[in-house]
Amino acid sequence: MPDLLLQLAIILFKIVTLTFIVVLPLVPISVYFERRFSAIIQDRVGPNRVGIPLSLLGFKKDFHFFGLIQPMADGIKLFLKEDFTPQYVRKAFYWLAPALTVVPALITVCVVPFGSPITIFGHTEKLVIADIDVGPLFVFAIASLSVYGITLAGWSSNSKFPFIGGVRSTAQMISYEICLGLSIIPVLLYFGELNLGKIVEHQAQHGWLLLPLWQNGQIGLPDMQTALFWIPAVIAFLIFTISIFAETNRMPFDLPECETELVGGYHTEYSSMKFALFFMGEYAAMVIGSAMVVTLFLGGWSAGFGLDPLIAKLGIGGFQIGGLIHLGIFLTKLVGFILFFILVRWTVPRFRYDQLMKLGWVIFFEAALINVFLAALILAAPDLTAVILGTGAVLLIAVTAAVIWVAKTSEAPVKPLRA
Partner 1 sequence: MAVVKIQRPKLGFGEKIYFAALIKGFILTMTHAVKSLLGKSMGAKSLESSGLGVTMQFPEQRWDAQMPDYYRGAPALVTDEQGRERCVSCQLCEFICPPKAIKIVPGEIPSDDPWAKVEKRPKEFDIDMIRCIYCGMCEEVCPEQAIFLRKDYLITGLKRADMVHDKKKLYEIGGVRTGLVNKWNELK
By CB neighbour count within 10 A (0-12 exposed, 13-18 middle, 19+ buried), where does 335 fall?
middle
Pick 225 or 355: Cβ nearer partner 1: 355
User: To the nearest whole angstrom, how small is the minimum distance from the Cβ of residue 52 to partner 1?
Assistant: 17
Nearest-angstrom CA–CA distance, 117 and 124: 6
Residue 219 touches partner 1, criterion: CB under 8 A: no
Q: Which is nearer to partner 1, 39 or 103 (CB)?
A: 39
Rank residues 40 and 402 by Cβ distance to partner 1 and give the closer one: 40
What is the 8-class DSSP label of residue 16? Answer: I
| Nearest distance in Å: CB 378, partner 1 | 23
A 10 A CB-CB count for 108 gives 26
CA distance 47 to 300: 31
Q: Which of 6, 45, 393, 394 binds partner 1 (CB under 8 A)?
A: 45
**Euclidean distance between CA atoms 401 and 370, whole angstroms:** 10
CA distance 104 to 149: 10
Q: Does 407 bind partner 1 (CB under 8 A)?
A: no
39 belongs to the binding site for partner 1 (CB under 8 A): yes
Size of the site for partner 1 (CB under 8 A): 13
Considering only residues 256 to 315 of the shown chain, the ones binding partner 1 according to CB under 8 A are none
Buried b (16+ CB within 10 A) or exposed e, 158-171: bbebbbbbbbbbbb
Q: 343 or 396: whose CB is closer to partner 1?
A: 343
In angstroms, the CA 248 to CA 169 distance is 10
Q: How far is the CB of 260 from partner 1 (least distance, A)?
A: 19
The tally of CA atoms less than 13 A away on the side-chain side of residue 395 is 10
404 binds partner 1 (CB under 8 A): no
Asked if 32 touches partner 1 (CB under 8 A), the answer is no
Q: Of the candidates 10, 12, 44, 72, which one interacts with partner 1 according to CB under 8 A?
A: 44
Span from 147-155, 216-224, 229-237, 340-348 in contact with partner 1 (CB under 8 A): 340-348
* Contact flag: residue 37 with partner 1 (CB under 8 A): yes
State in angstroms the smallest separation of the CB of 362 from partner 1: 12
Q: Is 54 in the site for partner 1 (CB under 8 A)?
A: no
Q: Label each residue of 319-359 as H, E or C.
A: EECHHHHHHHHHHHHHHHHHHHHHHHHCCCCCCCHHHHHHH
User: Under the criterion CB under 8 A, does residue 41 sit at the interface with partner 1?
Assistant: yes
Nearer to partner 1, 67 or 113 (CB): 67
Instruction: Fill in the DSSP letter of residue 22.
Output: I
As measured in angstroms, the least distance from the Cβ of 95 to partner 1 is: 39
Closest CA to 97 of 181, 165, 28, 30: 165
Q: In terms of CB distance, is 348 or 394 closer to partner 1?
A: 348
Is there binding between residue 348 and partner 1 (CB under 8 A)?
A: yes
Site for partner 1 contains 40 (CB under 8 A): yes
Residue 233 corresponds to which amino acid? A
> With the C-alpha atoms ordered 175, 179, 182, 188, is the resulting torsion angle positive or negative?
negative
Chosen residue from 1, 42, 313, 409 binding partner 1 by CB under 8 A: 42
Length in residues, the chain: 419
Return the number of the residue (332 or 347) whose C-beta is nearest partner 1: 347
List 346, 353, 361, 373, residue binding partner 1 (CB under 8 A) = 346
Question: Which residues of the chain form contacts with partner 1 (CB under 8 A)?
Answer: 37, 39-45, 48, 343, 346-348
